[in-house]
Amino acid sequence: MMKRLFAVWHARNLEFLRDRPTLLFTLLLPIGVVIGMGVIFGGPPRPLFTVGVLGTPAARQADPFLHERYVQFVPIRTEAKGLYEVTHQRIDLLLDLRGAVRYWVNTDSPKGYIVEKLLIAADPGARRQPVTGKAVPYVDWLFPGILAMNMMFSCLFGVGYVVLRYRKSGFLKRLHATPLTAFEFLSAQVLSRLSLIVFVTVVLYVGIGAIIHFHSGGSIALLLLLAIMGSLSMIALGLTIAARFSSEELVGGLLNLLTWPMMLLSGVWFSIAGAPRWVRWAADIFPLTQIVQAARAVMLDGAGIQRIAPNLIYLAATTLVFLGFGAWSFKWRVD
């Protein structure tokens, strides 16, 4: 028995070691993640709070609160823009130094509550102003991101592993003997997964809405269009990974390599308004960022199609690019 066990163990080890893409990915992924996170989150201690400031540079230097540690102070050009940012929890507090010191804070923001205490301790004379418009609760701000994240996982993993299973079982090899082209096969996979994702998203939207009664000020039809365009982009992205590879370990690793940065940097859980500019630029490349931004604009602000048109165009363009690349690199059989 031990001899048979050792033989299987030895064969599996050789199989893994001879799969060089998977071996390299297994070795390089942890190194890349550590280096990437070290670059993004390393260095000196980063600010914990983001405060928007109205006023001249001279006035900003005179206020004692501006010397607090772990608080990032961001210049705000207009009061209207600052109120929008603090209401939507993109900044934790808005401070006005034009004359008598006053500030605005979203009462539903936990970080806003803490930074307000710091401000009062440093400058007891600061006057609190009510936030113009209805403050956005965190659950309302979070909900579009959760729906988009669920779409991301369903699209990437639902398509990637299905195509991989088809290839390893020989099903794609049999399809290759038919007049079916790679583009037609991938398009059928996209449409199939799209119908399922949209159905699940609609059910979640209605079901969760009946439980928590979240705010949605925009058009339902526009949200549905956004869900369709976002799902298409995500599905096509998943197909580019599954189009060629036949190793489960490699495909799973590549899918995780895509999902984790998107989940952390696309603004699902927290705003990245205070992040370095290059991080925000990199985050805008992700389809998930475009979906989250557009969904929040529609649901929280009641935005119309003109405002989210750039997001929709970007999602449509990435869908065509990913689908075209997947069709070009598609492999019907296991080498």
* Mean pLDDT (whole number) for 28-33: 58
Please report, as a single letter, which amino acid is at residue 203: V
Checking if the pLDDT of 5 tops 60, the result is no
What's the Cα-to-Cα distance from 12 to each of 5, 8, 20, rounded to whole Å? 11, 6, 14
Most confident stretch, 99-108, 114-123, 211-220, 310-319: 310-319
Burial class (CB in 10 A: 0-12, 13-18, 19+), 257: middle
Task: Quick: pLDDT tens for 31-44.
Answer: 565 566 555 555 56
* Mean pLDDT (whole number) for 97-109: 83
pLDDT of residue 129: 80
Task: Quick: pLDDT tens for 119-167.
Answer: 888 888 888 887 765 666 777 788 888 888 888 888 888 777 777 777 7
Domains of the chain: residue spans and CATH: 49-129 (3.40.190), 138-329 (no CATH)
Checking if the pLDDT of 24 tops 70, the result is no
pTM: 0.68
Mean pLDDT, the chain, rounded, equals 78
Among 184-188, 200-204, 219-223, 300-304, the least confident range = 184-188
Checking if the pLDDT of 63 tops 60, the result is yes
Nearest Cα neighbor of 63 from 111, 113, 115, 99 is 99
pLDDT of residue 168: 74
pLDDT of residue 230: 92
C-alpha triplet 270, 275, 278: angle, nearest 5°: 125
Q: Are 65 and 117 in contact (CB under 8 A)?
A: no
Measure the CA–CA gap between 117 and 78, rounded to whole angstroms.
24
pLDDT of residue 135: 63
Confidence band of 313 (pLDDT split at 50, 70, 90): very high
Structure tokens at 2: 């031990």
Nearest Cα neighbor of 226 from 145, 309, 165 is 309
Structure tokens at 129: 């102003």
Structure tokens at 175: 């399809």
